[in-house]
Amino acid sequence: KKITTLPGDGIGPEIVESGKAVLQVIADLYGHQFEFQEGLIGGAAIDATGVPLPDETIERCQSSDACLLGAVGGPKWDQQPPHLRPEKGLLAIRQALNLYANLRPVQALDALIEESTLKPEVVSGVDVLIVRELTGGIYFGEPRERRTIDGEEGVVDTLVYKKSEIERLLHRAFQFAEIRGKHVTSVDKANVLESSRMWRECANEVATHYPSVTLEHMLVDNAAMQLIRQPKQFDVLVTENLFGDILSDEASMITGSLGMLPSASLNGTAFGLYEPVHGSAPDIAGLNQANPLATIASTAMLLRYSFGLLEEADCIEQAINQVLLKGYRTADLTNANAISTEEMTKAVIKEIK
Amino acid sequence: KKITTLPGDGIGPEIVESGKAVLQVIADLYGHQFEFQEGLIGGAAIDATGVPLPDETIERCQSSDACLLGAVGGPKWDQQPPHLRPEKGLLAIRQALNLYANLRPVQALDALIEESTLKPEVVSGVDVLIVRELTGGIYFGEPRERRTIDGEEGVVDTLVYKKSEIERLLHRAFQFAEIRGKHVTSVDKANVLESSRMWRECANEVATHYPSVTLEHMLVDNAAMQLIRQPKQFDVLVTENLFGDILSDEASMITGSLGMLPSASLNGTAFGLYEPVHGSAPDIAGLNQANPLATIASTAMLLRYSFGLLEEADCIEQAINQVLLKGYRTADLTNANAISTEEMTKAVIKEIK
Ligand SMILES: CC(C)[C@H](C(=O)O)[C@@H](O)C(=O)O
Ligand SMILES: CC(C)[C@H](C(=O)O)[C@@H](O)C(=O)O
């Protein structure tokens, strides 16, 4: 199996190194062969090639079975014009590889329950899978431009969806719900947006194919509230690109730390791109302080969704739980006795073994 | 001074009655004359006239100095076509009266600190003013339609802003910041949306007119997180229509109850429309159980912003605080010994006197 790593910027290289190390240990233990190759993306790609996503990177990803991405962006490239910004590499790779289904699981880990700003009884037991549409909507719609309106300067962005784009994503959500809590909350703004009304129609239609799953519609403003009020009510939360961006970052606060959250971006095949939800944290880049657990958890998702290696995935996730229960903490999770990125990685590897 | 009340649907009539009673007491105590007239909106207007916002209602509002609105909507009208839904009345009145600046203050009340699902130390002392653009953006942009895309069914919504619409709203936000904590957080999605990039430029430009106020830009996904992580970092949060809708409902959870939150919708003049942030709660309509405090707090905003009666406004807000400190609670805030809408209204009036 071929894995392309895309370290990117900031702490990206360090945490991807941790992920690779864990994957290598799994390969050795379980007798698999993982072949690694590396690709450029984000600021690192801009510095080396002038663009945030070189064609060569796309080709490498396409010729592999899965990708592991670190993070992109940093102050160094903040003055670049929009189409030459590191984030553009992220948006472009989603489109180029048709990664339309973004999975962001949010689970409360008992060992970290006190980290959350929410009360323990609200957080404990939360297990939400956010399924976010990732290649459509207002992120990519045209026109997106400055324009003269009524004789003065104005601006336009466009939210566009084809029915098939909405449906394929909803099918994924219902399929995940079938093997989870059998409940889908579809989030939209159907009292205002025409696209949300189509979304709601599609959800109702797709739901008929999954009789064991219950479907609930929720307005996005209410969802933003309910995630804080009673997060345990959610099983699978499915929504369009921008709503998913906002709600998944909000939901990350349930766990108390963005440093723990993995993600998967899937197309219709087994191929997927896996990355931590957090950013490139340029302030601690290269200092061996970053929390590698979100990236390590992403490797578990990689094994599960792209390679079908369920036991191996479980093994990694249990190891993460164990090191946390044993009290190991990186600097983002503690004020005292923080361990380094490398030490945390080693602790996880020791648990795996 | 003329006030048009728009009771609307569900609990709307009951809570507007409470608001009127409080305004009447203030008039008597301080020697003012308030003249009340009533208008139809929402489902009530649909039932009576066939449309959610009759022209007559607009005219009544235009001929008055301020409006007090209850709430609109309910299951009875859920099957109506989009342009004949109660919410359409709300959207239409915002446009008809050019109410572009929506103010949603979120304050942690010590008496209710335990109501929040957030930890007391996170919530205590929070005092955020959300300033939301209310008459533009994707709520009103054209085209908004079903459309054939690549030979299949598709849908489009459009986010449109004129520079002047963004600027006038930002000026309001900075003006409020000047008399508050002198900090503006401008929320956008400038790494994706062209409209957000224009928003950011406008914010930078407008900021130069308010040298005593500091300006910070924050991406909307991060803002959704920071409101939970550290709400005390915000003073004035200013943003476009849809982001404001989502973030203000999320922020309401800081106070623990939507039942407490007032709002003001202003145009460039002293005129304003005031309403509770919560909805029409059809399940408890007519039962004398609704919490009238958000509506009563809205009358305080009315007195402050439309009539310039600062002392009277403070008096109402202090009375609300006092009844809560004395332990009075409606059913949304307690499981035992709940008092009725009327009893709560009387308790506030007693404090005012
Ligand atoms: C960097 C940005 C363009 C991106 C997004 O908005 O999708 C990020 O916030 C994310 O959620 O992966
Ligand atoms: C009812 C709905 C159209 C409205 C909005 O989205 O503006 C409501 O959520 C609000 O915030 O006042």
Q: Are strands A236-239 and A183-188 parallel, antiparallel or unpaired?
A: parallel
pLDDT at residue A258, as a whole number: 82
The yes-or-no answer on residue A332 being catalytic is no
User: Which SS3 state, helix, strand or coil, does residue A290 take?
Assistant: coil
pLDDT at residue B246, as a whole number: 98
Of chain B residues 303-332, which have a CB less than 8 A from chain A?
none
To the nearest whole percent, how much of chain A has pLDDT over 70? 100
> Between residues A83 and B243, which one has the greater pLDDT?
B243
Give the predicted TM-score (pTM) of the model. Answer: 0.97
Confidence of residue B156 (pLDDT cuts 50, 70, 90): very high
pLDDT at residue A301, as a whole number: 98
For chain B, report the end-to-end CA distance as a whole number of angstroms. Answer: 22
**B249 interface with A at CB cutoff 8 Å:** yes
The yes-or-no answer on residue A189 being catalytic is yes
Q: Look at residue B79 and tell me whether its pLDDT is greater than 90.
A: no
pLDDT in tens, A37-66: 999 999 999 999 999 999 999 999 999 999
Domain covering A1-99+258-353, topology = Isopropylmalate Dehydrogenase (3.40.718)
Q: Residues of B within the annotated binding site?
A: 74-87, 94, 104, 132, 221, 245, 249, 279-291
Question: CA-nearest residue of chain B to A92?
Answer: B192
pLDDT at residue A278, as a whole number: 92
Of residues B110, B157, B221, B314, which has the active-site annotation? B221
In 3D space, the residue among B183, B195, B97, B87 whose CA is nearest the CA of residue B141 turns out to be B195
Q: Averaged over A149-164, what is the pLDDT?
A: 98
A91 lines ligand 1 (CB under 6 A): yes
**CATH superfamily of domain region B1-103+258-353:** Isopropylmalate Dehydrogenase (3.40.718.10)
To the nearest whole percent, how much of chain B has pLDDT over 70? 100
CA distance A332 to chain B (A): 13
Q: Look at residue A96 and tell me whether its pLDDT is greater than 90.
A: yes
Do the Cβ atoms of A159 and B154 come within 8 Å? no
Alpha helices in A151-219 (DSSP H): 163-178, 194-207
Q: Averaged over B318-328, what is the pLDDT?
A: 96
pLDDT at residue A342, as a whole number: 98
Q: Look at residue B336 and tell me whether its pLDDT is greater than 90.
A: no
Q: Do domains B1-103+258-353 and B117-255 have the same CATH topology?
A: yes
Q: Averaged over B190-194, what is the pLDDT?
A: 95
B92 lines ligand 2 (CB under 6 A): no
B250 lines ligand 2 (CB under 6 A): no
pLDDT at residue A257, as a whole number: 80
Alpha-carbon gap, residue A155 to A139, rounded angstroms: 15
Q: Look at residue B78 and tell me whether its pLDDT is greater than 90.
A: no
Written as six digits, the tokens of A212 are 């064991």
Alpha-carbon gap, residue A297 to A320, rounded angstroms: 8
Confidence of residue B61 (pLDDT cuts 50, 70, 90): very high
pLDDT at residue B255, as a whole number: 86
pLDDT at residue B145, as a whole number: 98
pLDDT at residue B282, as a whole number: 94
Q: What is the DSSP string of A21-83?
A: HHHHHHHHHHT---EEEE---HHHHHHHHSSSS-HHHHHHHHTSSEEEEEE---GGGTTS-GG
Confidence of residue B259 (pLDDT cuts 50, 70, 90): confident
Angle between helices A86-96 and A55-62 (to 10 degrees): 40
CB of B282 within 8 A of CB of B13?
A: no
Q: Averaged over A293-320, what is the pLDDT?
A: 98
Q: What is the DSSP string of A225-239?
A: HHHHH-GGG-SEEEE
The yes-or-no answer on residue A305 being catalytic is no
Written as six digits, the tokens of A33 are 């062969």
Q: Look at residue A166 and tell me whether its pLDDT is greater than 90.
A: yes
Q: Look at residue B274 and tell me whether its pLDDT is greater than 90.
A: yes
User: Which SS3 state, helix, strand or coil, does residue A321 take?
Assistant: helix
CA A74 to chain centre: 19
Residue B282: Cβ within 10 Å count: 16
Domain spans in chain B, listed from the N-terminal domain onward:
1-103+258-353, 117-255
Q: Look at residue B329 and tell me whether its pLDDT is greater than 90.
A: yes
DSSP one-letter code for B340:
P
> What integer best gives the mean pLDDT of chain B?
96
In 3D space, the residue among B252, B141, B200, B229 whose CA is nearest the CA of residue A118 turns out to be B229
pLDDT in tens, A274-306: 999 999 999 999 999 999 999 999 999 999 999
Confidence of residue A351 (pLDDT cuts 50, 70, 90): very high
Q: Averaged over A298-321, what is the pLDDT?
A: 98
Domain covering A117-255, topology = Isopropylmalate Dehydrogenase (3.40.718)
Q: Averaged over B334-338, what is the pLDDT?
A: 88
Q: Is A48 annotated as a binding residue?
A: no
- In chain A, what residues touch B71 (CB-CB under 8 Å)? none
Of residues B182, B232, B249, B346, which has the active-site annotation? B249
CB of B38 within 8 A of CB of B17?
A: no
DSSP one-letter code for A338:
P
Of residues A189, A235, A274, A305, which has the active-site annotation? A189
Q: Look at residue B135 and tell me whether its pLDDT is greater than 90.
A: yes
To the nearest whole percent, how much of chain B has pLDDT over 90? 94
pLDDT at residue A78, as a whole number: 86
pLDDT in tens, A97-147: 999 999 999 999 988 999 999 999 999 999 999 999 999 999 999 999 999
Do the Cβ atoms of B154 and A160 come within 8 Å? yes
Q: Is A288 annotated as a binding residue?
A: yes
pLDDT at residue A79, as a whole number: 87
Q: Look at residue A179 and tell me whether its pLDDT is greater than 90.
A: yes
Which of A64-68, A111-115, B50-54, B312-316 is predicted least confidently? A111-115
The yes-or-no answer on residue B314 being catalytic is no
